[in-house]
Amino acid sequence: MLEIKNLHARSEDTEILKGINLTVNAGEVHAIMGPNGSGKSTLAHVLAGREDYEITEGEVTYEGKDLLDMEIEERAAEGVFLAYQYPVEISGVSNKYFLKAAINSIRKHNDQPLISRGDFVAMLKEKLALLGMDKSMMDRSVNEGFSGGEKKRNEILQMAMLEPKLAILDETDSGLDIDALKIVSQGVNALRSPERGIIVVTHYQRLLEYIVPDKVHVLAGGKIVRSGDKSLALELEDKGYSFLSEGAEAIAAN
């Protein structure tokens, strides 16, 4: 589904991604862990299409197409979804209008009939219940005045409504208490399916207790320095990120 080859990206004069290689197949959940500043969020935003980064080398193939050649909205319409670490507040645009505009923009792109008001309302009601959100939040401006936890739930709500093929969760666990974490994880797990790929970017192992990954990768210094199964996350939890420096040097030496 997603194949990243030797991806290099920079922001202004700083090279952040220094040769990422990663393959995500449909049905898999990959966790990307790593210390602060290792390039995790940059990778997530490069995949979503943020224009602040310059791709200097490498390629990204998504469902056989060149992802890096697509506009931001085109990627979303083709099924790529990024749940933001810091969701943006948009004053004056209601959540409901925003969601319906997004769904129908994607449907229009894919030559599908637009969603009817009734179907939209029914779907929204179901997803709100899944995430324990009150429907009054739908009449409020997008993320405006939402608590940290509400913003994160709102991201997962959008994901549930848009039903992407490839979901990237950027530090979705940050700022969540344990109850919110369980609810958000439940929302993500509900989307797990053989057709869908999920990338979970996180600093801590905690989230992975609820969203159990098939593969875990450690990103450090702009490169994936180790890959393994879910036991790698536990090892990291145990030893911290400091032991990585040896591993990173070993890889660099190779």
Partner 1 sequence: MIATETDAYQESFNQFQTDQSSTAPAWLTALRQAAMERFTELGIPTKRIEDWRFTSVKPLATKPYQNVQSISLANGDAEELLQRAKLDESFHRLVFVNGHHVPQWSSQHELPAGVVIENLASSIRDGSRDLQGRLGLETSDEAAAFVALNSAFVNDGAVVDIPEGVVLDRPIHLIFVSVEDGHTVCHPRNLIRLGKGSGAAVIETYLGREGDGYFTNAITQIELDEKADLDHHKLQHEQTESLHIASTYIDQKDSSQFRSHYFSFGSLLARNEINCMLDGEEIVSTLNGLYMPTGEQLMDCRTRIDHARPNCNTYELYKGILDDRARGVFNGKIFVHQDAQKTDAKQSNQALLLSDDAVVNTKPQLEIYADDVKCTHGATIGELDENALYYLRSRGIAAPLARKMLIFAFANDVVQGVEIPAVRQHLETILLSSHGLPDV
- Does residue 118 interact with partner 1 by CB under 8 A? no
Largest Cα separation within the chain, whole Å, is: 60
Residues 38-77, interacting with partner 1 (CB under 8 A)? 48-51, 71-73, 75-77
The residue within the footprint of partner 1, chosen from 30, 40, 100, 217 (CB under 8 A), is: 100
Q: Which of 26, 130, 137, 162 binds partner 1 (CB under 8 A)?
A: 162
The residue (of 141 and 227) whose beta carbon lies closer to partner 1 is: 141
Cα distances (angstroms) measured from residue 104 to each of 80, 114, 117, 139? 15, 5, 11, 18
Binders of partner 1: how many residues, by CB under 8 A?
32
Q: How far apart are CA 123 and CA 131, in angstroms?
A: 13
Q: Which of 16, 29, 46, 82 binds partner 1 (CB under 8 A)?
A: 82
Q: In Å, how far are 209, 219, 221, 222 from 237, measured between CA atoms?
A: 12, 15, 19, 20
Out of 84, 181, 226, 233, the residue judged to bind partner 1 by CB under 8 A: 84
Binding marks (x or -) toward partner 1, 213..232, rule CB under 8 A? --------------------
Q: Work out how close the CB of 116 gets to partner 1 at its nearest, in angstroms, rounded to a whole number.
A: 12
Burial 70-99 (b: 16+ CB within 10 A, else e): beeeebbbbbbbbbbbebeeeeeebbbebb
Phi, psi of 132 (to 5 degrees): 60, 40
- Note whether 127 and 161 are within 8 A (CB): yes
Q: Give the one residue of 25, 56, 101, 147 binding partner 1; rule: CB under 8 A.
A: 101
Task: Report the residue number, 47 or 224, with the smaller CB distance to partner 1.
Answer: 47
Residues in 124-143 at the binding interface with partner 1, rule: CB under 8 A: 141
